[in-house]
Structure 1
Amino acid sequence: MLRTVRRLADGREIVYYDEPGAPPRTAEDTRDLPPVTARSEIRRDPLTGEWVAMAAHRQTRTYKPPADLCPLCPTRPGKPSEIPEPDYQVVVFENRFPSFAEDAAGPGPTVDGSGLVPVEPGRGRCEVVCFTSEHDRSFAELSPRRVRTVLAAWADRTAELSRLAGVEQVFPFENRGEEIGVTLHHPHGQIYAYPFVTPRTERMIEVARAYRAEHGRHVLGDVLAAERASGERVVAAGECWTAFVPPAARWPVQVQLVPHRRVADLAELTEWERADFAEVYLEVLRRCDALYDRPLPYVAGWHQAPVRRDRDLCWLHLELFSVLRAPDKLKYLAGSESGMAVWVNDATPEQIARRLRDTR
């Protein structure tokens, strides 16, 4: 893989990831851009202990531009974009409207000076990952080779962002479809480098610690072994990865892709594991798109270990879920889910897996 680091007109970093034989990346960003000003802060909820980010400057971010003005397409004559090159393979750049930023400044130390609600600058980093220069394609239509390049970019960014001062966890993810809230239709994802360990990860670490103390093994390792032995909820499998509907699935479509070897994050995967992931994930995505005979809106995110602690209690995995419960019906998070985090699923995990396996 070829890695080229450049700068955009406002100083943001842009990194090109190319397969061997690609042309050199030398194009300059000719736009007249003001400097990025991030005013994000984080506040800790005194009742749950969870951090909440406040990023009011994101109200002005780009919203559903026409295809010929897409900021993620390559630059065309008279139509400069976020990517100065006339073509690219995979590219990552700093978000112009970040939820977290390295130079973020917040008021602190507490809301109203009461000492009750801590406030800190929302320091971290947010990046955009473009999977292809082709505006009308999707991740499912990428070649296995291109998926390996994307995976190499994710792994490289995980390692780079983990070295930043104050970053505690790195989360690469893709949002796809307007039903999910996507406002840019070019195939892309994002990476959040958080200044704290996320609530979901904290909870999984607690469970893994208690399970290991009782059984001497990792809970996800035992779940993976049970799913492979049963096969009832398995959607796809390779030599290094198994994709299955979790046995307590929350969403109408939900799949976890788990490597057979425990690793803490993407940077620890071998080339063999990366190649096998590409094949298994593409099969999962094709089945998801065939489920309702339409592109499935989804969120797909990597659960990685925190940067500085409890890495031995984490098992890297990708989780994909969708809010679409029928071709024309959405699952809304109503009272029980939104108010109390008690999920009610309209389908069993076995039914979800069966429908995905039966797609053509």
Structure 2
Amino acid sequence: MSSFNLADHPHRRYNPLSGEWVLVSPHRAKRPWQGQQEEVPADTRPAYDPTCYLCPTNVRANGERNPDYTATYVFENDFAALQPGTPDGALQNTGLLRAESERGICKVICFSPQHNLTLSDMDVTAIKQVVDVWQREYEELGALDFINHVQIFENKGSVMGSSNPHPHGQIWAQRSVPAGPANETRQQAAYFAEHQRSLLQDYVAQELSEKTRIILENEHFVVLVPFWAVWPFETMIISKRHFQHIGQMGEEEKLAFADAIKRLSAVYDKVFNVSFPYSSGLHQSPTDGQAHPEWHFHMHFYPPLLRSASVKKFMVGYELLGEPQRDITAETSAERLRSLI
């Protein structure tokens, strides 16, 4: 029997941020595809769409009119999943049935007044304005006494559930810390307690020494395919400096962060020569009043496209019942992305 090789043999990889595992089956990438293929709609969006509820001066679904904004624009979501006035309450004395009320605030951020742009089309200065808004909203929402977590994210493309193609993202701020960030808090805290260093700082140092999964870097940030990636072209943007949240970024770091987002999103669009769909989001320390020295700021990108612009990865079967699985190794994805810079 030949010796074990990550590039050829089935294996599991550990995610130290979540404490979970992913099954990697690189030999399956060679099989022919006869599964579902998504339709790829042509992007014929105008710079201004009179029917879009996010374009400047248009009326939204709740009857309010958008201002004639010229840069980023933020408003409270008209169909918010969380509400600030939710009363306290819970199911009590119901055995294994458990529920509790959840308060929160949901906002929409229009990245640009131009309907036909994406982050990959915007220049770094314009993206830096988005980062400025993320910073302000994180600090302002996090300062509220009933907000303990601020989740900033973007769903790009209809295949990722985006109901409007206008360039925009969302913020859901809530009383509880959701499961994903809570897991990352636990894992990072355990590592910091043992080593007195940031888990991601040590991880970035190892990746920079190997270079295998690095896509690009600038003075302040590294863009890489994580060793434990689940999605075909999953990436992370990780700060080189150990800090906890976006509120601690200086002007140079915000500009470098915008540069990393711009360059990564531009590379994504070259993979299959299509405006690349993804869900992305910032992960940073909770806003519960604690210092959280273990936390290290980073951003996740989860794109669904697998083999072409029309083939999407689904979580089915074993992945729903067992654990996540991928065919294309992180090293192969990184090499593909890096070659497109």
Q: TM-score, normalised by structure 1?
A: 0.77
Partner of 2:38: none
Task: Give the Cα–Cα distance (whole angstroms) in 2 for the partners of residues 179 and 297 of structure 1.
Answer: 7
Q: Deviations over 1:237-264 (max 9, x none)?
A: 0000010000111110111101111111
- Unmatched 5+ stretches in structure 1: 1-65
Partner of 1:174: 154
Q: Which amino acid aligns with 2:70?
A: Y
Partner in structure 2 of residue 27 of structure 1: none
Structure 2 counterpart of 1:68, from 42, 50, 59: 50
Q: Which amino acid in the other structure matches residue 356 of structure 1?
A: L
Mapped contact 2:59–2:65 kept (Cα < 8 A): no
Match of 2:302 among 316, 321, 332: 321
Q: Hey, what does 1:280 align to over in structure 2? A: 260
SS at match of 1:332: coil
Q: Is the Cα contact below 8 Å between 2:53 and 2:60 reproduced in 1?
A: no
Give 1:300-339 correspondences, 5 Å limit: 300-308=280-288, 309=290, 311-327=292-308, 328-339=310-321
What's the Cα RMSD here?
2.2
Structure 2 counterpart of 1:329, one-letter code: V
Label 1:77 to 1:260 Cα distance change in 2 as closer, same or farther (>3 A).
Answer: closer
Q: CA deviation at 1:132?
A: 0.3
Percent same amino acid at aligned positions?
A: 28
User: CA–CA distance in 2 between the matches of 1:238 and 1:301?
Assistant: 20
Relative contact order, CA 8 A, sep 6+: which one is greater? Answer: 2
* Inter-partner Cα distance in structure 1 for 2:243 and 2:59: 45
Confirm or deny that 1:133 pairs with 2:113.
yes
SS in structure 2 at match of 1:68: coil
- Cα distance in 2 between the residues matched to 1:77 and 1:344: 44
- When structure 1 is superposed on structure 2, of 318-327 and 124-133 the one drifting more is 318-327
Secondary structure class of the residue paired with 2:207: helix
Asked if the contact 2:102/2:176 (under 8 Å) is kept, the reply is no
Q: Secondary structure at the match of 2:144?
A: coil
Q: Which consecutive residues of structure 2, in runs of 5 or more, have no partner in the other structure? A: 1-47
Partner-residue secondary structure (3-state), 1:140: coil
Aligned to 2:325, what secondary structure does the other structure show?
coil
Matched, 1:253 2:207: no
CA contact (8 A) 1:255 1:320 kept: yes
Letter in 2 for 1:214: E
**Do residues 346 (structure 1) and 315 (structure 2) align?**
no
Question: Comparing 304-313 with 225-234, which one deviates more in the overlay?
Answer: 304-313
SS in 2 for 1:159: helix
Distance 2:196 2:83 in 1: 40
Deviations 1:216-252 (A, max 9, x none): 3221111111111111111110000010000111110
Measured in 1, the distance between the counterparts of 2:97 and 2:291 equals 26
Select which of 197, 216, 227 maps to 1:217: 197
Q: Tell me if 1:114 matches 2:99.
A: no
User: Runs in 1 of length 4+ with deviation above 4 angstroms?
Assistant: 76-83
Distance 1:82 1:256 in 2: 37
Are 1:94 and 2:81 an aligned pair?
A: no
**1:255-277: CA deviation from partner (whole Å, max 9, x where unpaired):** 11011111111111010101111
Distance of 1:79 and 1:95 partners within structure 2:
10
Shift of the 261–298 alpha-carbon distance from structure 1 to 2, 3 Å rule, reads same
Corresponding position: 1:205 with 2:185:
yes
* 1:98-152 Cα distance to aligned partner (Å, 9 max, x none): 111111247x4217x5154343332110000000011111111111111111101
Rounded Cα–Cα distance in structure 2 between residues aligned with 1:294 and 1:91: 26
Quick one: which of 152, 158, 166 aligns to 2:132?
152
Amino acid in structure 1 at the alignment position of 2:237: L
Structure-1 separation of matches of 2:335 and 2:304 = 18
**1:61 corresponds to:** none
Contact 2:155 2:280 (8 Å CA) reproduced: yes
1:122 to 1:226, Cα distance in 2 relative to 1, 3 A: same
Other structure's SS at 2:293 match:
helix
Q: How far apart, in 2, do the equivalents of 1:232 and 1:273 lie?
A: 25
